[in-house]
Amino acid sequence: MNSIKFAVVGCGHIGKRHAQIISEHPQATLTALIDARQPVVLNVQQFKLPFFFSLEDFLQSGIEADVVNIATPNGLHALQAVACIENNMHVVIEKPMALNTCDAKYIINAADKYKKHVFIVKQNRYSPPVAWLKQIISKNILGEIYSVQLNCFWNRDERYYLPADEHDKSGWHGTKALDGGVLFTQFSHFIDIFYWLFGDIKNIKSTIKSFNHKQLTEFEDSGIATFEFSSNSIGCLNFSTAVWDKNFESSIIIIAEKGTIKLSGQYMDRVEYCHVKDYAMPSLQAINNPINYDSYKESSASNHCHVIQNVIDVLQNKAAISTNAAEGLKVIDIIERIYQASKVSLKKGSL
């Protein structure tokens, strides 16, 4: 069976993870790395591959790739994805797909025109607790869903936003143009999960503020949003990156007709509470899903391998895309509407 050829653009922490998984996969070949920074700074010399300082140089090089994995700053995703698509390559895009719905649609239109696949990285869907929750909701084990509370409380301080040393000139974290905001960079995975589990939202009201990031970022660090799901269940999102010193948790609480469930941990990677009528909590290893639980660790990081496997399976006509461009667009749309609702609230408050 032919090996799928990949290139990776953006060789920071996440990009190197993509590169490592691809290089170790028996049905994949890593053909090139692309980043504006020096390989020695990125510590990618071990891959011993052609290295390019711009995507344009790679696209003009003649080196073959079936897929380009895009792990660059958020604000670059759309233009880079379209450039790759127009050069006859599929794309894997790290979250978020783009920083606005216009750019996300730009990617989708290009993919439709050139008949290319767009894979959106939402690796938290593969975490065993989240996969289990998806199953019991799909099977209506909880009955009618009454309310959902999503809490995302992390630390992002000067250690994250300021360059670690004089060699780090990237400086994109905290900027509106390239970072976009905490709902895009830190918490879009969790917004994707509640959309995946419960569907679209409406009647959004939100308040967004900056408490201890005024000198660090061009956007908010905390917020509260309330809304209804399309099913008329009610929900709320509480988020902050102003937590002192270290991440606290990301959690989801579901109040339903037949029971109550809470997932918690930094990545919603632990079932903290499960009390459901006529239901016994199973061993997560026993759930019939594509997760190799033995390789699962207490981080969403270990689930990128499933994303790459899905890309290979799709291109070998063995599977459908696990998270497609339409779903990536919807997450961007929800984030935009949460931000827009906060502006509406401010206008009403000033009357």
Q: Looking at residue 167, what is its pLDDT?
A: 44
Q: What is the spatial distance between Cα 164 and Cα 237, in angstroms, rounded to a whole number?
A: 31
- What's the mean pLDDT when you consider all of the chain? 91
Q: Looking at residue 77, what is its pLDDT?
A: 98
Q: What's the pLDDT band for 284 if we cut at 50, 70, 90? A: confident
pLDDT above 70: percentage of residues in the chain:
90
Structure tokens belonging to residue 82 = 């379209």
Region 37-64: mean pLDDT is: 94
**If we measure between CA atoms, which residue out of 135, 188, 281 comes closest to residue 272?**
281
Q: Looking at residue 345, what is its pLDDT?
A: 58
Q: Looking at residue 292, what is its pLDDT?
A: 42
Structure tokens belonging to residue 89 = 């390559």
Q: Looking at residue 81, what is its pLDDT?
A: 98
Q: Looking at residue 131, what is its pLDDT?
A: 93
Q: Which of 132-141, 191-200, 276-285 has the lowest mean pLDDT?
A: 276-285
Q: Which of 62-71, 271-280, 286-295 has the lowest mean pLDDT?
A: 286-295
Placement of tokens 């790679």 in the chain: 58
CB atoms within 10 A of CB 95: 25
Structural domains of the chain sorted by starting position, each given as residue range(s) with its CATH number in brackets:
4-123 (3.40.50.720), 127-297+324-345 (3.30.360.10)
Q: What's the pLDDT band for 68 if we cut at 50, 70, 90? A: very high
Q: What's the pLDDT band for 1 if we cut at 50, 70, 90? A: low
Structure tokens belonging to residue 180 = 């976009």
Q: Looking at residue 302, what is its pLDDT?
A: 66
pLDDT tens digits, one per residue of 147-189: 999 999 999 999 999 865 544 545 799 999 999 999 999 999 9
Q: Looking at residue 2, what is its pLDDT?
A: 85
Report the 3 state secondary structure along the chain.
Answer: CCCEEEEEECCCHHHHHHHHHHHHCCCEEEEEEECCCCHHHHCCHHHCCCEECCHHHHHCCCCCCCEEEECCCHHHHHHHHHHHHHCCCEEEECCCCCCCHHHHHHHHHHHHHHCCCEEECCHHHHCHHHHHHHHHHHCCCCCCEEEEEEEEECECCHHHHCCCCCCCCCCCCCCCCCCCCHHHHCCHHHHHHHHHHHCCEEEEEEEEECCCCCCCCCCCCEEEEEEEECCCCEEEEEEECECCCCCCEEEEEEEECCEEEEEECCCCCEEEEEEECCCCCCCHHHCCCCCCHHHCCCCHHHHHHHHHHHHHHHHCCCCCCCCCHHHHHHHHHHHHHHHHHHHHHHHHHCC
pLDDT tens digits, one per residue of 272-283: 999 999 999 988
Q: Looking at residue 163, what is its pLDDT?
A: 67
**Is the per-residue pLDDT at 19 higher than 80?**
yes
CB atoms within 10 A of CB 238: 15
**If we measure between CA atoms, which residue out of 100, 116, 149, 110 comes closest to residue 251?**
149
- Phi/psi for 110 (5° steps) reads -65, -45
Q: Looking at residue 285, what is its pLDDT?
A: 62
